Structure 1
Amino acid sequence: MSIFSVLNRLCTHSHRALLTAVCGLFFGLVCSLAVAMPVQASSLKAAPWYRVEVMLVAYQNEETIDNELWPDAINTQPPSAEVYQQYADAEDHYNWWTNSTSTKETKALAEFDFSQVPTASLPTALTPLEHKLFADKAEKINRRRDMQVIWHQAWVEPIQDEKHAIQHPIDVELSGPFTIQLRGTLQLYVSRYLHINSDLTVQHYQLEESPELAALNLPSSQSAQTDYREELYSQESLSLTEQKIIPIRSAHIQQSRRMRSNELHYIDHPMLGMVVKVIPIETEADIAPLEDNQ
Structure 2
Amino acid sequence: MIVVTAPTGQIGAHVVRGLLDADVPVRVVARDPARLAPGVAAQAEVVTGSHGDPDVMAAAVDGADTVFWLVPPDPAAAGVDQAFAGFARPVLDALAGRRVVAVSALGRGTPVAARAGRVTATHAMDDLIAGTAAAYRALVTSSFMDNLLRHVGPIITDGVFYGPHRPDLAMPHVATRDVAAAAVRLLRDRTWTGRAEVPVLGPEDLTFDRIAEIAGEVLGRPVRYRQVPGDAFVAAMMRAGNTEPMARSLLDMALAKNDGLDAGVARTPGTTGPTTFRQWCREVLRPAAERSAAIAGGAGGR
Q: Which TM bucket (shorter chain)?
A: under 0.3
Larger RCO, structures 1/2 (Cα 8 Å, 6+ apart)? 1
The normalised TM-score by structure 2 is 0.24
Rg larger in structure: 1
Question: Could you say which structure has the higher helix fraction?
Answer: 2
The normalised TM-score by structure 1 is 0.24
